[in-house]
Chains A and B, each alone.
Chain A
């Protein structure tokens, strides 16, 4: 994929629409990022385990005890659209 196609593809997955100027701009930024990643890819990583977290901590848990939720009004406060107690979104076909 060309950087431009990558921008259009990722925008599609994220349900975003960009104009021509934006696509150009992001394509350039994308190319920089991918260029940097391909530099990293050149490193010899033989025998090195992937690291997903900086900390080696494990097992951070919560007890299974109910804590107060937001009220219905608070939960819906930022909703662009609502129908009584529901969030309302454009029609989604099942």
Chain B
């Protein structure tokens, strides 16, 4: 890797191409199921197998989903767009061409805002979003030959192409995370990079700082996890700088990221292999998106992650960190809001208590059980009730945690507290008595306290809570104990 002072002489210019597999029930051009994980070659038909004479018919939902993404990323929507054939031979695409869009993608000229931390944001331009189809899967390690499963062949994709507005590997990572959140919020893609439903290629070049002209770019492929994207781009930036510093030149080429060696390698490329000979797809007519269609899609768009995060910060007074955690997953954010609206007394301090509870007890349970908040069987009303019980000093937070398993088993927090007699007792004379007894049982502690060993205080508080099974109001225990010890010293 190049040294930091050498790296800082250069600036990287990065654009990402993200492929999002659409969550339609059927493929783009035929009625075969898009189900993931089926036995090999059970979801195919003459259309997706490329049999001669078979004709594609386009899935309306693909347009619908592409429009959602276009509108969510501030794109212009093209009123008339068409399909094109991208010709190449590879066994995972038996037609010999991919049906895609070329000159007139359905969405173009948009942008998204990404967060850079410390409240900073940056706009990343979206050049275009077009509709196309996925290929089948090639398996190279089960046989001496290559095996092909065509179930995925024809599954609809949108390709989201960014402007070269990204300047660091970390920005690329944040951009990709933002795109992932948006497609998940829109319900058009499950965002799973490991299963390949979201894939990313990066165009990377470097130039000396201050130079306007772009350097020669390479295309980095095989970025199959979020962290790989950042690592691969970092590596590629550093590699290009080293080549230039050594007096070499960058060749325009496709490079594969190798997660095992943490490096990129040039692919052997045959001359002319990128001549895709695009031409208009004769088997499909064009798509006309009238204003009414655009407006009906716009009307159905959900609140997007960044807008929701900002609203959580302003409306609930949440710290940026908490808001970020909740908007990460749509149903978690909804759970938080439902819980807050179920509170009897509102206010930012109570919302923060709800937030704390969700980030600790609730999320711990969800992650142990591998559940989404949408699948959580405990109603937000129960969590609100629990939070209010300790916000109102009816129970201590310790007791609240202790009864959480009972809440999980479906009981109402109020009923649990009542049944088990757990309500915190703030009866001063009772607490006075308890503490007097404890001091009587531990006369040596008063001596120790007098001699400056103030750490016995904690021990005495512990004893008081223990003998009252956590029911004594800890605030009162503290106050009364302090008073008694002061009296003893004076006495």
Contacts and interface: CB of A to CB of B under 8 A. Distances in A.
Interface of A: 9, 12-15, 52-53, 55, 57-67, 69-72, 75-76, 81, 83, 85-94
- Secondary structure class of chain A's binding surface, majority of residues: loop
10 interchain residue pairs of minimum CB distance:
A67-B31, A86-B147, A52-B280, A61-B60, A64-B61, A58-B288, A87-B148, A85-B40, A89-B91, A62-B57
Contacts of B61: 64
B275 interface: yes
Find the residue from A63, A86, A91 having the highest chain B CB count within 10 A: A86
Contact of A94 (B39, B43, B256): B256
Contact of A85 (B39, B58, B91): B39
Interface string B364-388: 0000000000000000000000000
Interface stretch (B138-146, B158-166, B174-182, B199-207): B138-146
Contacts of B41: 72, 75-76, 85-87
A53 B45 contact: no
A21 B58 CA distance: 43
Interface in B251-310: 256, 272-273, 275, 277, 280, 282, 284-288
27 contacts: A13-B88, A52-B280, A53-B285, A58-B285, A59-B286, A59-B287, A61-B60, A62-B31, A66-B26, A69-B33, A69-B42, A70-B46, A72-B40, A72-B41, A76-B41, A81-B145, A86-B142, A87-B147, A88-B143, A88-B146, A88-B148, A89-B91, A90-B145, A90-B146, A91-B146, A92-B140, A92-B146
A7 B390 CA distance: 82
Contacts of B30: 67
Given A13-B275, A64-B24, A75 B44 contact: yes
A19 to B, nearest CB: 21
Interface of B: 24-26, 30-33, 39-46, 49, 57-61, 63, 80, 82, 87-91, 138-140, 142-150, 256, 272-273, 275, 277, 280, 282, 284-288
Contact of B286 (A9, A53, A86): A53
B65 to A, nearest CB: 10
A86 B273 CA distance: 26
B144 A91 contact: yes
Contact of B287 (A58, A70, A87): A58
A60 B32 CA distance: 18
A66 B35 CA distance: 10
B11 to A, nearest CB: 32
B144 A62 contact: no
Find the residue from B87, B144, B277, B285 having the highest chain A CB count within 10 A: B285
A89 B58 contact: no
Nearest to A16: B89
A67 B288 CA distance: 25
A9 B44 CA distance: 33
Nearest to B30: A67
Find the residue from A15, A62, A71, A89 having the highest chain B CB count within 10 A: A62
Nearest to B24: A64
Nearest to B35: A66
B144 to A, nearest CB: 7
Nearest to B64: A64
Contacts of A88: 143, 145-148
Contacts of B256: 94
Contacts of A57: 285
A57 B45 CA distance: 26
Contacts of A14: 89
Given A13-B272, A85-B40, A61 B145 contact: no
B147 A83 contact: yes
Contacts of B91: 87, 89, 92
A69 B43 CA distance: 6
Contacts of A86: 40-41, 139, 142-143, 147-149
A64 B26 contact: yes
